[in-house]
A and B are shown apart, each in its own frame.
Chain A
């Protein structure tokens, strides 16, 4: 009914999550989010905004409005290549890139990220490899990326891979740190730590949570 004749789905206030903005703003320096004047400088600076489902300016507005589901499922946050052009230009000094990261982390934690989309898959594979070996090996990373996202791509890239191999710029050897145990014990301590405060933590800090 809502998408009748191409009208966008209207979100009513009752469908919004009013504590979403506080969650995102709980990252260090994140409270600047509330000073956004919606000037659109971020969207103008962003080299990828023409390809995004929502522009960075829209994402900021949606976070403040509490459009939790749409933001976490959007491709925008993942398309952000972290070039920091928006953060540098923002007249209100909002760390937009870090807000994108916060949304990505929430989406991963809650499993809300877009499926069959290469970018979160790459992030996950990269994370797993570094967790285990302490270093990333580009050849293995790309193999896993293609197998898990789009196996056809694997064949498209085979030629490039072969050229890189012949030029000595890619190899099959796994790169790894020597003291893997040491690294693992460092990371293990932070297993359950997150910089974004959960709704329960926000509530205990006295923020109004619905």
Chain B
């Protein structure tokens, strides 16, 4: 992997005040076969301290994709 870019977008609801939903997109720059980035995403979800703290309290979802310049 040469680099990563993560875009996070949160939506706040009014009553009660809380984050209604948090979406993320992980863009990886890599030549690894598809299974490896998928495994990376699984491990990020398992090991992220803040991810593991926030996930039970809100709708936290996202995808991991390969950088567009590297897609066939």
Q: Do A and B bind each other?
A: no
